[in-house]
Structure 1
Amino acid sequence: MRILDKIAPAVLAVASWSAMAAEPSRISVHTLAGGKEVARIMLPIGQQHSVQVEANQVEQERGGITHARGNVRVTIRSGGATTAVVGDEVIVRRKVLDARELAAIRALEAMGAPGKRDAARDRKELARLKTIIAAHGWPGLRFAGPELAANAFTVLMRTPPREMEALLPALREAQAQNDVPGAQLAQAEDRLLVAKGLPQRYGTQLASGKPVIIEDEGALDIRRKMLGLPAMPTSSGQ
């Protein structure tokens, strides 16, 4: 008699947050290959999500971590849409926000709210962003998710040069940790340089449809590649 060693898939309903508005969470799904992360999905904070994990082996670890291995399928239902993630190893992380984190998230959400823009609103949002950075570092993808992180970057790009220069170290550190897209750092660095009357480094700032003068243009594409930017489509002509 042949003994089958096939393991039946384990099914774990990680969570269904449709009734947990009082407990906002930061939820992310990480796909691994060879023990290294190759893809990540950050679920929008403050929305209702349902996440189900199916795999040969599912372990519930401390800190709200679910680790699945072998024929993994993660089904995410969010806002009426369904997304499936498949792989050999997937980690789902869920962290309930504490009061300070929740206040920061709410402030970032307000930064993206529609309405009339004026100097007073820009100053208020800048003050909030400084408070968030002081408490949590730059609010990048891991802390805020892509949409709210983009709100923070928008506020930065409206900031006067002196204030921007003071905040850039936090953005640089986040980018070095792959928590901020390289394109954002390139734009901020170039914006500051141009505001100071200096040549830009990455060719992101335009005037009359052409890049403002660029430092060491022969090495431009090398610098752009280091931040994940494509080569410049045409020469600046400088």
Structure 2
Amino acid sequence: MPWSRRGHGRIVNGNATTISEYPWNLSIQFLVRHECGASIISTTWAMSAGHCFYDDVTKMLLRAGSTTRESGGVVFNISRVVYHENFNSTSLDNDIVVVQPSEPFPLGPNIQPVALPADGYEAPAGLPVTATGWGLDQNFQRPEELLKVDLYVDQTSVCSKIFADILPVTDSMMCAGNIHKGVCFGDSGSPLVSGNMQVGIVSWGDEDCEYPLAMYTDVGYMRRWIRNITGV
């Protein structure tokens, strides 16, 4: 069973960071509890994983501009959610959603959109990338502050083989990881960035959260769809 279906998440063996370093980070909150991550892509749109939105969105909020996951910053209701038309909640193919807040994000030092790649961009194997998010750490503790973990992109064909018994790896996915480091339950929807450019969205992986690789929605592959829906 992939960990994307098992609830709240963690960054494994990462380091503390601040929202000013990653000002596009959002916490998706269900009944005020952190549920998933997301990223700001413009003043009026955010982006996350499709499987994060299985609950009643009227009970979900977006928290922006805070290093602390369940306090501070600015909180928004969600006014619109658009799933990819080919999103499959079983296979997690096309695992992407774009979301509109109830009012525009007030841009400032701690609230900024992330850059997006060109249409069809393919992150090369070996590219250093960073995942950021909130949730349980390797000791299953609940740190309140934003965490980051440094990873590397790997060849999708490698992940296709090692995850063959979990889920099929499709064209909408990319893989990244590092030894004894990674993402896990509830980091779903969080951004995977190269510098200030988002290349992936945390999607799914092995139940062992220290497994060296995990799967991400490929933002370059989804770039045209994102523009068609949001104009971004």
TM-score, scaled to structure 1: 0.26
Q: Which has the larger radius of gyration?
A: 1
Per residue, is there more strand in 1 or in 2?
Answer: 2
TM-score w.r.t. length of structure 2: 0.26
- Structure of greater relative contact order (alpha carbons < 8 Å, 6+ residues apart): 2
